[in-house]
Amino acid sequence: MWAALEWVAGAEHHEVSWVARDALTRRIAAHFAARRGATSVARDYWADTEGGESAADPSEAELAALIAGINGNGNTFVAITPAGDTAAWYVRVGQGDDGTYEVERFGPSLRDHRRAAHPSAEAAARALFAWLAQQPR
């Protein structure tokens, strides 16, 4: 998704602004919130799979299970978004061509975009869970 955004911007000889990234992050969070429905409640954050699973405030083990379920057949990513109306950050976990799990964090309002590869779903979940614990509540 971000690669496509960068490609379109590059073709137009423009940089992708943090304002555009922030707007896209908010749309992603709103999409998953609408799919979950208004009756769902999370205190800190949500984890949603492309395949339709959602978990409110998942534990490290639950995150690892969601990440391990990534495949090339309709469940290619897990998205983690903050609970509530704030969309200060967005995390996408996918699987690289080499089989590693790629954790990509976007914090447009924080002007932060980082990517890291992990050898297993458990390692990706451990790193992600540690990062989530540091985010403001």
Q: Is the confidence at residue 136, as pLDDT, over 70?
A: no
Q: For the chain, give every domain's residue range.
A: 2-35+44-133
**What pLDDT, on the 0 to 100 scale, is given for residue 85?**
65
Q: Please answer whether residues 74 and 43 qualify as being in contact, where contact means their C-beta atoms are separated by less than 8 angstroms.
A: no
pTM: 0.73
- DSSP of 47-64: EEETTS-EEES--HHHHH
Beta bridge partner(s), residue 106: 90, 113
b/e per residue 74-102 (b: at least 16 CB within 10 A) = eeebbbbbbbbeebbbbbbbbbeeeebbb
Q: What is the pLDDT of residues 41-59, one digit of tens each?
A: 557 888 888 888 888 888 9
